[in-house]
A and B are shown apart, each in its own frame.
Chain A
Amino acid sequence: MTVLHLSEARTGEDVLIALSDVSKSYRRGAQIVPVLSRLTFDIRRKEFLALMGPSGSGKSTMLNLIAGIDSPDHGSIKVGGEDITLLPEAELADWRAANVGFIFQFYNLMPVLTALENVELPLTLTDLGRRERRDRAQFALGLVGLSDRVKHLPSELSGGQQQRVAIARAIVTDPTLLVADEPTGDLDRQSAKEVLEIMQRLNRDMGKTIVMVTHDHRAAAHAKRIMSLEKGDLSYLVEQRLE
């Protein structure tokens, strides 16, 4: 394991995400609480980055900013060369649909839809016909090992299976970037291991860039690089290469 200072983070053509001078604060009553302060760093293409840090350090906020579901008070966030902070809201929604897959701690599946329909949901925003949408959703569920659970409702699946459905939903549109917020936070050890292995495979075999927020060092160990946030500042980077 190599410890790098922030200044050593790589830049260049293989950069997918570039945060530049990003600040974000929240209003709590009359009080303004700064969360991120003038943050600048890059995330390379095909990277599997784990964001760690104590509660309130701003790691989820940073993930939200990168994923385009929140906007910074200051600074720019370029993803694939496009500054997403400049996009109007509707275009930003389209951008997310095309480029970002989400994996949440509590899976966040639609309870009234089957596993297949949950995975198909993001494809309804595309021009694909119903049959093709179904085929792609089936394929994505196959990739996470749930071909035999397509007609099950989320309530009929275990936590690990639900998270795998959520992963299938995240990858079904073939996005460049996957963001995962504590994806194993609600899972037992075995299920967590399976989920992390799937994420590793998506990164390694399909070239997905993954940014994962986690408290769990064992989960972070599956990433290629670990970044730690402390009070809104990147204190240091840990680069870790898998064997």
Chain B
Amino acid sequence: MPLLLSYSLRNLQERKLTNLLTATGMALVVFVYAAVLMLDSGLKQTLVATGEDTNVIFVRRSAEVEIQSLIDRRQARIIESQPEIVIGAEGAPLVSKEVAVLIAQPRRKTRQASNLLIRGVGPAALAVRPQVRIAEGRMFRPGSNEIVIGRALAGRFEDVEIGSSLRFAQREWRIVGRFDARGSGFDSEIWGDSEQLMQSFRRDFFSSITVRLADRSGFDALKARLEADPRLTIEAKRERIFYEEQSRLLSGFIQVLGLTLSVMFSLGAVIGATITMYAAVASRMMEVGVLRALGFRRSRILIAFLVEALLLALIGWAFGILFASLMTQVKITTLNWTSLSELAFRFVLTPGIVLKSLVFALVMGFLGGFLPAVRAARMKIVDALRVA
């Protein structure tokens, strides 16, 4: 290790308590910053994972979410007859004509009602979405009052477990299975037979139609043709894009609020680092004078103190990111502001977040160390030596 770096490191060890407190302040800010990014990343990952690139979702033109969308049976027939759609093992095109409805269900812990999304799906739903599989129990029988629940719902809502029944739309719905959608948004939904649910909710319109393409490159032609068809008032989107767009409102809020908080906290941490580094410079004026007398240029002194501040930030970052990584064990449930339904997701730590928080911490260290380092570098040698 270069001697000057080792000198900076050892000086950090000399004033353990002060430096530890400063690093702790930085660690807290890094924690908040990383946690916000992890929350946002978790939200996006969950919603993006909900969609597949080979799937296309059709909703009514200008409808941002499925609950705003209506597609009648005539339009549905036109959509499902398109040649780009892959034919399934049973000889039928892989199409799921779906209805999405919100019901209010009390939460188990708070007893407060929250929105649950009921999705009526077609018989090909599992073939259209291969990431979804039945993890426990079985799939509902078509034409019955049976429903299956998403993995993330277990334990969160009253009566939402296999063997129980839910009452909504004037009927009792028996829960016969639990499905695993690999952490996607579907995990927070309840699925049943679309025709049964439509009857029960007295609707004659689908909310959306999801189709699986034989070749993902067929999307552009399909979209262009159907959106230009005068019989249709629909909009086609890749399923992944559709769900990604649903994350934008909440994600934007998390980012703005979280980053504002982070920046405000970081001001405190930067001031803390500045005070610590000013104290470090003041207590080592003699050393600065000697180094300068020995021939170390001002720039080297500047770098030495900046490196010290950056090392402090690095320690803070390491602790902060360590604490933040523990948050990956935490599951968050919140209302998705776009779909208005409950959504469960986890804090997700990505290499990008590790890198961003490192840069954030180093910027804090740099800002905190800069003025004290400049002061050290600008000191007159004779004045610095006179302190000794």
**What residues make up the interface of A, taking CB atoms closer than 8 Å to B?**
64, 67, 69-70, 89-90, 93-98, 102, 104, 106, 108, 110-113, 117, 120-122, 124-125, 169
Contacts and interface: CB of A to CB of B under 8 A. Distances in A.
B298 interface: yes
B294 A102 contact: yes
B259 interface: no
Nearest to A70: B382
14 contacts: A64-B381, A70-B381, A89-B298, A90-B297, A90-B298, A93-B295, A93-B296, A93-B297, A93-B298, A94-B297, A102-B294, A108-B287, A113-B7, A117-B7
Contacts of B4: 124
B296 A125 contact: yes
Interface residues of B, number: 27
B9 to A, nearest CB: 9
A104 B388 contact: yes
Contact of A69 (B10, B287, B381, B388): B381
Given A70-B381, A70-B382, A108-B286, A125 B292 contact: no
Nearest to A89: B298
Contact of B295 (A98, A104, A106, A110): A98
The 5 closest A-B pairs by CB, nearest first: A97-B295, A112-B10, A69-B381, A96-B295, A108-B290
Nearest to B384: A69
A40 B13 CA distance: 49
Contacts of B11: 112
Contacts of B256: none
Interface of B: 2-4, 6-7, 10-11, 13-14, 286-287, 289-299, 380-382, 385, 388
Contact of B3 (A64, A95, A111, A124): A124
A232 B158 CA distance: 94
Given A69-B292, A95-B295, A122-B295, 9 more contacts: A64-B381, A93-B298, A94-B297, A97-B296, A104-B290, A108-B289, A111-B287, A121-B291, A125-B295
Nearest to A90: B297
A91 B291 CA distance: 15
Given A117-B3, A124-B2, A112 B295 contact: no
Contact of B10 (A97, A113, A125): A113
A194 B297 CA distance: 33
B14 A102 contact: no
A142 B159 CA distance: 84
B328 to A, nearest CB: 38
B298 A110 contact: no
Nearest to A101: B294
B385 A108 contact: yes
Contacts of A122: 294-295
